[in-house]
Amino acid sequence: MKLVAVGRMKSGPERELFERYAVRLRPRLELVEIPDAKGSVAEVRRKDAQAILAACGASSFVVALDEGGARPDSAAFAGLLERWLGGGRPLCFVIGGAEGLEASVIARADATLSLGRLTWPHMLVRSLLAEQLYRAQSILSGHPYHREARP
């Protein structure tokens, strides 16, 4: 699995939180960071989009993290992840930068994923995604990390 994300994560609490979950993931999660682009909002989004889609590759199953995307609960996300991994195409998650994702990325994406309607800082989205991937993996393997306590 690959995570293509805009910006470089410095060492510190955000990186530690991401790595806490990322190191436990199987298959491994390869992080590909796209350097911040310069220019107008439209230019930044276009440059980001080109770099993101090139990093994912033409044959990948692309999942774009987007506030307006699909909102599965964690159990449903685990089911989706199982299906995506079993689909035979390289799986590539995508997180935009401060200016967000260009519409071309959403259009190219094979699936979208929302972490709720609130806007999260893009560096934090990496950690949230890594945690949900770990939770999904735990659900699929029957590991007690995920507790289904709601009635």
Q: Say whether 126 counts as a known binding-site residue.
A: no
Q: Say whether 68 counts as a known binding-site residue.
A: no
The CA-based diameter of the chain, rounded to the nearest angstrom, is: 50
Burial tier of 28 (Cβ tally within 10 Å: 0-12, 13-18, 19+): exposed
Minimum separation from the CB atom of position 150 to ligand SAM (A): 21
Q: Say whether 116 counts as a known binding-site residue.
A: yes
Give whichever of 24 and 71 is closer to ligand SAM, judged by the CB atom. Answer: 71
Pairing of strands 111-113, 2-6: unpaired
Minimum separation from the CB atom of position 96 to ligand SAM (A): 2
Name the residues that contact ligand SAM, by CB under 6 A.
65-67, 95-96, 98, 100-101, 114-116, 118-122, 125
CB 32, CB 4: distance < 8 Å: yes
Give whichever of 96 and 134 is closer to ligand SAM, judged by the CB atom. Answer: 96
Minimum separation from the CB atom of position 102 to ligand SAM (A): 9
CB neighbours of residue 82 within 10 Å: 14
